[in-house]
Structure 1
Amino acid sequence: MGFQLRQATPEDAEALVLMHTQAHEECYAHLLPPEFFAARRASLPERIEKRRPYLDTTEPRIIALDEEGQIVGLADSGSGRDPDKADELELYSIYTLSSTYGSGLGRSLLEAAIGDDPACLWVFENNPRARAFYEKNGFRPDGVSKVTGPGWGNQPELRMVRD
């Protein structure tokens, strides 16, 4: 299975949001209720329009395309959003569809978004697959945690860092 990685553009917004929504359903079904996913699907048009300007940048907004040209993964990064990490790189998100698990796509997206640079990220505490992926790629929890807002089911999150 071959993949092409490239910088996303505003024209990719619809396909990217649809893929991102599917990825959320695949990886968070054990954490969030069906109503969460129904609300995400109901807000697709709004989320697509909100995503267009976000993709109009030179900062890493990487998408992975399969052999048919369908988006099957994404990764994005930029300046740290936490006050104590503002001068550092943050991996904002990385998602692949479950059909690509084990293919090496996640590692390729990680490299495209942050390289081997020191970085931080946030991950749901109860997401062992993601945590194992990050640990395999040099990240470790730094002891900082928080709880998402009610929009994301008040999920506990851990910050992980790579020096």
Structure 2
Amino acid sequence: MSTQVRVRQARVEDAAEMARVNVRSWRETYRGLMADHVLDDPALPAARERFWTAMLSDERYRANRVALAERDGDVIGIAMAGPAQNSESQWGTQLYVLYVVAAEHGTGTGAVLLDAVIGPHDSAALWVADPNPRAQAFYRKHGFVADGTVNMEDGVRVIRMVRIPSGRASDSSSPS
């Protein structure tokens, strides 16, 4: 039987493994949504490693919370949240990254990573690929709802989901 999932704060020396999980998750999840030439680009792992190195070492990103999940010494999931991009939003935090390798879907790893970077009652927003029914159901289970905002990122349709705990919204309407 495999060991428990261990979640911890990510460190700069984790960047290569985080990039590996990032690329693997994109390939497992976004094949058919994201262009094959992007997913299969041999430079993608190195680009994601540079991204994670910057996120974990550059002072500009110090306010971000970055966590990883390990099982049996292998990194199986990654998450990153930080200040909302729009300072006028009703949510204080934005979830920028939450990826778990497909073999670990349904194990609770995503939930512990989410809680590691965003408090369970914090107001927050995120963008999720559409269609991606599994991820959207996961976020709904954790209190997020689609607010009707749609965007295109790298050729992928994404929807915004928000979580605004009771009493935090600026008016009595709920996001729908």
Q: TM-score, normalised by structure 2?
A: 0.82
Deviations 1:101-155 (A, max 9, x none): 111111111111102111110111211111010011110011212111xxx2x22
Pair 1:60 & 2:62 matched: no
Number of residues paired by the alignment?
157
Letter in 2 for 1:160: M
The Cα shift of 1:83 comes to 5.2
Letter in 1 for 2:46: P
Q: Which residue of 1 aligns with 2:130?
A: 125
CA–CA distance in 2 between the matches of 1:50 and 1:106? 21
Task: Report if the CA contact (8 A) 2:64-2:83 is conserved.
Answer: no
**Structure 1 residues 94, 50: CA separation in 2 closer, same or farther (over 3 Å shift)?**
closer
CA–CA distance in 1 between the matches of 2:91 and 2:39? 34
CA–CA distance in 1 between the matches of 2:93 and 2:36? 33
Q: Which residue of 1 aligns with 2:171?
A: none
Q: Aligned Cα RMSD in Å?
A: 1.7
Q: Secondary structure at the match of 1:16?
A: helix
CA–CA distance in 2 between the matches of 1:74 and 1:105? 10
**Structure 1 residues 137, 97: CA separation in 2 closer, same or farther (over 3 Å shift)?**
same
Q: TM-score, normalised by structure 1?
A: 0.88
Q: Which residue of 2 aligns with 1:34?
A: 36
CA–CA distance in 1 between the matches of 2:113 and 2:44? 27
Pair 1:156 & 2:160 matched: no
Runs of 5+ unmatched residues, structure 2: 165-176
**Structure 1 residues 58, 5: CA separation in 2 closer, same or farther (over 3 Å shift)?**
farther
Q: Which residue of 2 aligns with 1:95?
A: 99
Q: Which residue of 1 aligns with 2:174?
A: none
Task: Report if the CA contact (8 A) 2:7-2:113 is conserved.
Answer: yes
Pair 1:79 & 2:89 matched: no
Structure of greater Rg:
2
- Which residues in structure 2 correspond to 1:108-123 (within 5 Å)? 108-116=112-120, 117-123=122-128
Q: Secondary structure at the match of 1:131?
A: helix
Letter in 2 for 1:48: E
Same amino acid, percent of matched pairs = 31
Report the more deviating stretch, 70-79 or 46-55. 46-55
The Cα shift of 1:64 comes to 0.4
The Cα shift of 1:156 comes to 1.6
Task: Report if the CA contact (8 A) 1:79-1:86 is conserved.
Answer: no
Q: Secondary structure at the match of 1:82?
A: coil
The Cα shift of 1:36 comes to 1.6
**Structure 1 residues 143, 103: CA separation in 2 closer, same or farther (over 3 Å shift)?**
same
Structure with greater proportional helix content:
1
The Cα shift of 1:87 comes to 6.2
